Copies of this chain bind each other. A is one copy, B any other.
Amino acid sequence: MKDRDVRLDFARSDRLGFDEAILCARKSDAQLSRIMDEYLSRGASALMTRLDPAVAARLLSSHEARLDYDPISQTAYFNWTPPRHTDFEPVAVVSAGSSDIPQAAEVIRTLTYFGVRAERFIDIGVAGLWRLLQEVDRLKTFPVVVAIAGMDGALPSVLGGLIPGSIICVPTSTGYGAARDGETAFCAALSSCAPGLAVVNIDNGYGAACAAYRIVNAIRQCQRRSPSD
């Protein structure tokens, strides 16, 4: 098969305000190298997600100078120049248990790539409710909160009744048996008794960051227009 086997969407940033990311799972080393070379040849930067440490190690040997890899979130910044960041932290990233840290890291790494600051609140699952309650006043000040929880996914429901900002839920595949690889957490978030929760796919920290970015972007647009609606 001689024909070209990648056709990248370099115009995405113009349409949406942010670049296409490279989902590395299920791509061969050869495919990834070809894609990275195409980015380099255009002087474009890329966010790489779901990049396995072993694959990353192999890619680093050939592209080391330009690859900033983080093993916890399994993301890499490729050929990246840090953008000017937001002055304040519009996004809070809240996680329930220590098994949810990789997804929290993916959210923050993606937002950082987009130039958006975020603050992390960890281990505030509802089984030790005091840890959550002592942060509520600060969480109320964020326009966007990303809530990350697996197993029973009870954290988003509790948050949703306490804080007024936009809440984006990332159900995680933490747990076993009735946790059903994240299905229970994501059905719980969707059928929450708290109103107005928005949900992304299981373990999809990248998607939550994009959803948060869309809101941050909307806020910026409106701020530019006029200070009163």
Contacts and interface: CB of A to CB of B under 8 A. Distances in A.
Interface in A174-229: 174-184, 186-204, 206-207, 209-215, 217-224, 226-229
Interface in A104-132: 105, 108, 120, 122-131
B214 A165 contact: yes
A151 B191 contact: yes
A194 B88 contact: no
B166 A214 contact: yes
A158 interface: yes
A157 B160 contact: no
A173 interface: yes
A31 B90 CA distance: 29
A154 interface: yes
Interface in A39-74: 72
A145 B186 CA distance: 22
B16 A161 contact: yes
Contacts of A200: 190, 196-199
Contacts of A126: 126, 154, 157-158, 161, 193-194
A68 to B, nearest CB: 13
A72 B27 CA distance: 11
A7 interface: yes
Contact of A198 (B8, B123, B128, B211): B211
17 contacts: A6-B98, A11-B128, A11-B130, A17-B164, A25-B176, A88-B229, A126-B161, A143-B219, A143-B222, A144-B218, A151-B192, A152-B191, A154-B193, A177-B190, A196-B207, A196-B210, A224-B227
Given A7-B124, A153-B188, A178-B190, 20 more contacts: A9-B128, A16-B195, A16-B196, A27-B98, A151-B191, A154-B154, A154-B192, A164-B217, A175-B191, A177-B182, A178-B202, A180-B187, A184-B184, A184-B191, A187-B187, A188-B188, A196-B212, A197-B211, A223-B227, A224-B228
